[in-house]
């Protein structure tokens, strides 16, 4: 068994960490990056791009670039329909009514796209650690329902992981933030790219107990970006009469600029957006130039940000605590860098939030710590999480009968006795749902199954025991048993909102088959990046050398640099490696000559070299 790593599979960015002796460390990519954009793209050549390289080409290839896929995980198309216009790619409804993505005439489920991200994280971890990585703890928003958790677990399986646990993000953050000794009460305020969660925890001598959790899976940094994007395009239309929404590329350029402006406004009071040639008007090219102030952004985002406070209030009340009972408030997620968010949190909780953790990394670090608990490295931690939403079954009249109440500690098991609705009924249908509504239609359906072979009897006489069981990952199993005949039937929640077990296995094999191709592709990406750096340095040296040295001193470097430029985008890795080494070595020699000439103010070196050339010339004549 390989090492267990912790993965924060984020809406905007993802992060991975490992634990060495119980102490977690973030895993860096070869470029030194500690987070990876959660972006997947498909090039015109059919290449699969992941992370930073995918995000960089998003403007020129918007329809084939997928971001924020986490918002679609395990969700019905009807649930996410309002987000369809907020993305450049096509969100479609598959045969099961679930949300999916159409790219180049192929429909991908959200777990498939997420698996591509996870597979890249797996490669990064294996390169960093120098060993195979097989096991993972993957985090999810605390308010994810059972289908969304199963979809995340399915994505992990497709990517080649044994998913040891699906862990709530706020809980992971608490594990990484606080020392386990003593008694403390804390709130984790998690405002990420796609979701918001708040969890209230109590820590007593290494036992981390989640007392309550609430959230909104439709509230995140993406929504703040959308508010700003709509305002920018509305202002542009009012000034120029041009509707940028009708363009295929312009909205993506505006969204990228808006996201960047949002980040800059966390550090400055105003920022400029300049997008040249954004459109074409009657008199020619039109540029977008606009100044965004922090005050304007806060006015646009205020309504959304303030929606988090009632959830915080309700979570504290559900935990049977008061505001003054809270010892620490931990901020998680990139959106918590926004000054207005920090101010609102401080005002509500009457204390400054902790600033000692990196909101982009703390969840992955906590997941790695949980991995160390599961592998026995840490024996001083015990985690008691809760299920975020009520679970139950449909009864006569479409009424929801709760079996496990929200905020129940997990793992847990509970049961209720039901009976038949008509005489001599031999079959009952069990419809499992999750949510807080009394009517079943207002909740999320998780699955149905039938219990057959019920003993013949008058209505109300049979005793049918329905058992709900949730494991430590929050994954639900349901069974029903006729206590008279012993007949039993059970289900697990559909693992990925439409993917069967055979589908997951098929996709896992495909992902494994693509792994070698991905490694080769990543090698070329690294080589081409290296080539770009070498070409840049050589060109810089050549510029100086042409002014100060004779042609014979730099001509070979010039030729080899041109050759490297010509083969940079080729498919011959050996030739590319050889060309890089050749240019690097020649550039080193030319750079040394340049240094000698620049430091030789009295010309002595020039005379020496001239004499050396004469002697060499004379020797050659002899």
Which tokens hold the place of 496? 């990925």
**Cα–Cα dist 127/299, whole Å:** 45
Q: Which of 86, 98, 146, 190 is catalytic?
A: 190
Catalytic (active site) residue 225: no
Bridge partners, residue 4, by sequence: 135
3-state secondary structure 82-150: HHHHHCCCEEEECCCCEEEEEECCEEECHHHHHHHHHHHHHHHHHHHHCCCEEEEEEEECCCCCHHHHH
Q: What whole-number distance in Å separates Cα of residue 188 and Cα of residue 209?
A: 13
- Write the DSSP string, 266-278: TTSSEEEEEEEEE
Chain centroid to CA 175: how far?
Answer: 20
List all residues 6 or more positions away from 247 whose beta carbon is below 8 Å from its beta carbon. Answer: 279
Does residue 168 contact residue 385 with C-beta atoms inside 8 Å?
yes
136 by Cβ neighbours in 10 Å (0-12 / 13-18 / 19+) ranks as buried
Nearest-5° Cα angle at 375, 369 to 376: 90
Q: Angle, to 10 degrees, between the axis of helix 362-374 and the axis of helix 169-177?
A: 80
Burial classification of residue 497, based on how many CB atoms lie within 10 Å of its CB (0-12 exposed, 13-18 middle, 19 or more buried): buried
> Is 70 a residue of the active site?
yes
In the beta sheet, which residues pair with residue 120? none
Buried b (16+ CB within 10 A) or exposed e, 298-327: bebbeebbeebbebbeebbebbebeeeebe
Specify the DSSP element, H or E, that contains 288: strand 284-293
Strand order of the sheet with strand 99-103?
90-93, 99-103, 106-108
Instruction: Provide the token pair at 392.
Output: 């139950």
Catalytic: which of 8, 216, 259, 469?
8
- Complete DSSP assignment for 472-508: TT--EEEEEEETTT--EEEEE--TTSS--HHHHHHHH
User: Which DSSP letter does residue 216 get?
Assistant: E
Q: Is 8 a residue of the active site?
A: yes
CB–CB of 191/203 below 8 Å? Answer: no
Given 169, 222, 361, 469, the catalytic residue: 169
Structure tokens at 424: 């001599």
Residues carrying an active site annotation = 8, 70, 169, 190
């Amino acid at each position: 068994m390989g090492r267990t790593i912790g993965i924060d599979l984020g809406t905007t960015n993802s992060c991975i960490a490992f634990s060495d002796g119980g102490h977690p460390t973030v895993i860096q990519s070869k470029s030194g990056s500690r987070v990876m954009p959660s972006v997947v793209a498909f090039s015109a050549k059919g290449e699969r791009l992941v992370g930073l390289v995918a995000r960089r080409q998003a403007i020129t290839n918007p329809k084939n670039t997928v971001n924020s896929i986490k918002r679609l995980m395990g969700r019905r198309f009807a649930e996410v329909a309002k987000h369809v216009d907020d993305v450049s790619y096509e969100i479609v409804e598959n045969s099961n009514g679930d949300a999916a993505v159409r790219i180049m005439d192929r429909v991908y489920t959200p777990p498939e796209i997420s698996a591509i991200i996870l597979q890249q994280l797996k490669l990064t971890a294996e390169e960093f650690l120098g060993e195979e990585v097989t096991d993972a703890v993957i985090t999810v928003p605390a308010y994810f329902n059972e289908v969304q958790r199963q979809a995340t677990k399915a994505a992990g399986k497709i990517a080649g992981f044994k998913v040891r646990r699906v862990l709530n993000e706020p809980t992971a953050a608490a594990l990484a933030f606080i020392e386990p000794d003593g008694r403390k009460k804390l709130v984790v305020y998690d405002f990420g790219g796609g979701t918001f969660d708040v969890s209230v925890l109590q820590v007593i001598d290494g036992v981390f107990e989640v007392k309550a959790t609430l959230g909104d899976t439709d509230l995140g940094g993406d929504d703040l970006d959308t508010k700003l994007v709509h305002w920018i395009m509305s202002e542009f239309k009012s000034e120029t009469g041009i509707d940028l929404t009708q363009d295929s590329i312009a909205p993506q350029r505006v969204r990228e600029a808006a996201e960047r402006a949002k980040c800059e406004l966390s550090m400055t009071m105003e920022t400029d957006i300049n997008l040249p040639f954004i459109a074409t008007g009657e008199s020619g090219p039109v540029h977008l130039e606009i100044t965004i102030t922090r005050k304007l952004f806060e006015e646009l985002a205020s309504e959304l940000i303030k929606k988090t406070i009632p959830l915080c209030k309700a979570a504290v009340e559900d935990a049977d605590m008061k505001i003054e009972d809270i010892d620490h408030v931990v901020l998680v997620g990139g959106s918590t860098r926004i000054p207005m968010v920090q101010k609102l949190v401080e005002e509500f909780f009457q204390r400054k939030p902790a600033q000692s953790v990196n909101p982009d990394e703390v969840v992955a670090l906590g997941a790695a710590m949980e991995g160390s608990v599961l592998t026995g490295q840490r024996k001083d931690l015990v985690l008691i999480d809760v299920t975020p939403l009520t679970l139950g079954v449909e009864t006569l009249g479409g009424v929801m009968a709760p079996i496990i109440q929200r905020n129940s500690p997990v793992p847990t098991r509970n049961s209720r006795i039901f009976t038949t609705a008509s005489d001599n009924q031999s079959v009952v249908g069990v419809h499992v749902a999750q949510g807080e509504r009394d009517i079943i239609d207002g909740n999320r359906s998780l699955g149905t199954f039938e219990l057959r072979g019920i003993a013949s009897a008058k209505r109300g006489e049979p005793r049918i025991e329905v058992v709900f069981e949730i494991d430590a990952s929050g994954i639900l199993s349901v069974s029903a048993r006729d206590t008279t005949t012993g007949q039993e039937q059970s289900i697990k929640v559909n693992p990925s909102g439409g993917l069967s077990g055979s589908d997951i296995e098929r996709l896992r094999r495909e992902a494994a088959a693509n792994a070698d191709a991905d490694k080769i592709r990543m090698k070329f990406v690294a080589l081409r990046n290296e080539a770009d750096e070498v070409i840049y340095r050589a060109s810089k040296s050549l510029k100086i050398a042409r002014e100060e040295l004779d042609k014979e001193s730099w001509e070979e470097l010039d030729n080899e640099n041109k050759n490297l430029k010509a083969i940079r985008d080729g498919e011959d890795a050996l030739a590319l490696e050889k060309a890089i080494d050749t240019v690097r070595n020649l550039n080193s020699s030319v750079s040394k000559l340049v240094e000698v000439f620049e430091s030789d103010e009295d010309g002595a070196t020039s005379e020496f070299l001239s004499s050396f050339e004469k002697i060499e010339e004379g020797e050659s004549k002899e």
